[in-house]
Amino acid sequence: MTAAGRSHGGVAVRELTSFIAAVFIGSLAGLISGHLLRSVGPAAATNVALAVGTTLTGATHARLIHGQSIPSLVPRVLVAAPLAYGVMLGVHRLLAP
């Protein structure tokens, strides 16, 4: 195998590992937030859990792959999670009669 082939394989493994780590962290954050918010109602807790999980998956990816600093990601997460929640509510209202 050539050096270029080995380095390409190494990049693919690193990206796959980072992707799995990001999904794991986002899923864990979603589960925890859903559990903590279950008293507000199951539908709201589910939507918040999905919004938080999706947002933190993206933030973890940005940190691991693109090297963005955590302080620069915090404001983005604080804006993106409520925005994702609002979009999910809108989609549910459009699709659910």
pTM of the model: 0.77
pLDDT at 11 over 80: yes
Residues 6+ apart with CB under 8 A from 43: none
Domain span including residue 47? 3-95
| pLDDT score recorded for residue 92 | 82
58-62 contacts: CB < 8 A, separation 24 or more? 58/22, 58/26, 60/21, 60/22, 60/25, 60/26, 61/18, 61/19, 61/22
Q: Are 61 and 18 in contact (CB under 8 A)?
A: yes
* Number of domains present in the structure of the chain: 1
Tens digits of residue pLDDT in 29-47 = 999 999 999 888 988 888 8
